[in-house]
Structure 1
Amino acid sequence: MKKITLFATLIIALLIMTTSASAVGTDKEYTPVPPSEDTVTALISSIKQENGHLVVQADPIEWYEGDAADRKFKEREPEAAEELGGAPDGYYIVNDDQTLETYEIAPDAKVLMQLYDHDGTYEGMEIQWNEPVSLDKYVAIMNNDKLMDMKSFPYHLTIKDGKVVQIVQQYIP
């Protein structure tokens, strides 16, 4: 009986650790990116040099998680919300306008990644919450879609004085 209880406890702990990894976090655990007036959440379609400046073309989205995701999901998809009991995986994205916006990236922009191809292997794609990477490395990561298309993740873009000063990858399960 003690072995079964211990085994069940370990399984539950493992499930909690793996299911709580649903967005951005500190170096050890998930914490949501707080919404702010100077942050835009977007799907990035391209990143490139243009007229001597690094720019991203991005489709701004509405990002919801937790209770806000459940409310928005219920509002927009009531039948599915009733059947599922809430937003799948604890988040919900609204993208009614798929117009691309162009944002210039500041040369000293801070980039924080959660998950990417570190070494060309699936094993090397471990979650490392808020791992800082250089802007050059970020461009390389975004242009490497061999194992995973990094453009499928939302990014929180902090904009100051018309330039992106911080990019934070939003992990999605």
Structure 2
Amino acid sequence: MKKTAFSMVTIASVLFYFITTANAVGGDYTPVPKSADTQSAYINKLYEQGGKWYITVDPIEWYEGEAANKVFAEQEPDSGLDEAPDGYYIINGSEETATFEVNAGADVQMQIFDHDGNPEDAQINWNEQITLSKLAELLTTEDILSVSDYPYHVTIHDGKVTKIVQQYIP
């Protein structure tokens, strides 16, 4: 019983930390610029095969700010809310996935992840660069702070992914 209570207190503390951290860093956040080559998506799988990297994604529609409020009002008219919670809104209208080859030198930028096995120590480091192999490892790690729960912005040039940016969510 003590172990369960300790675990619940630890989880509650971690969640409180992330909530207060998200509110404290709002001014440092810069949205990922939208472009014709960038697709917002959840990453289903990132793997190496035959000396090449591949990524399987579930495309989504990502909205933030006033655009999120507008789409939220259209999609959720009976919610009782005047605007999108936390300033963003995601539409994942299809279960279809897409697989792309990833350029071996792709730019991978993270906002927050568990560096040392202690989620309590996780801090926001805007656009922290990591390797493809590190991202693949993080995507298969089941932690309180699971990077597989975050959306990403994937840039594709000539059929290959050249950039992967984790979207910060408060």
Same fold (TM over 0.5): yes
Evaluate the alpha carbon distance shift between residue 121 and residue 133 of structure 1 in structure 2; reply closer, same or farther with a 3 A threshold: same
Q: State the superposition RMSD in angstroms.
A: 2.0
Question: In structure 2, do the counterparts of structure 1 residues 161 and 99 end up closer, same or farther at CA, with 3 Å as the change threshold?
Answer: same
Aligned residue in 2 for 1:37: 36
Partner amino acid for 1:61? I
Q: C-alpha separation between the residues in 1 aligned to 2:20 and 2:120?
A: 21
| Secondary structure of the structure 2 residue equivalent to 1:123 | helix
Equivalences for residues 154-165 of structure 1 within 5 A: 154-165=151-162
Corresponding position of 1:19: 23
Over 3 Å counting, the alpha-carbon distance change for 1:107 and 1:41 in structure 2 is: same
Once the two structures are superposed, residues 114-170 of structure 1 have per-residue CA deviations (whole angstroms, 9 ceiling, x without a partner) of 010100002221111111112222222222223322111000001111111000000
- Alignment length, in residue pairs? 152
TM-fit CA distance, 1:17: 7.1
**Counterpart residue type for residue 22 of structure 2:** T
| Residues 37, 157 of structure 2: 8 Å contact kept | yes
Q: CA–CA distance in 2 between the matches of 1:56 and 1:95? A: 18
Q: How far apart in 1 are the matches of 2:22 and 2:136? A: 28
Q: Give the match for residue 66 of structure 1.
A: 65
**Equivalent-residue separation in structure 2 for 1:140 and 1:131 (angstroms):** 16
Letter in 1 for 2:46: I
Instruction: Give me the whole-angstrom Cα distance separating, in 1, the residues matched to 2:143 and 2:89.
Output: 27
Flag structure 2 segments of 5+ consecutive residues without an equivalent: 1-18
Larger Rg: 1
Letter in 2 for 1:60: P
After TM superposition, list the pairs within 5 Å mapping 1:15-164 onto structure 2.
18-19=22-23, 21=25, 29-80=28-79, 83-164=80-161
Distance 2:64 2:164 in 1: 19
Q: What TM-score, normalized by structure 1, do the two folds share? A: 0.81
Structure 1, unmatched stretches of 5+, are 1-14, 23-27
Q: Percent identity?
A: 44
8 Å CA contact 1:113–1:169 kept in 2: the answer is: yes
Give the secondary structure class of the aligned counterpart of 2:119: coil
Q: TM-score, normalised by structure 2?
A: 0.82
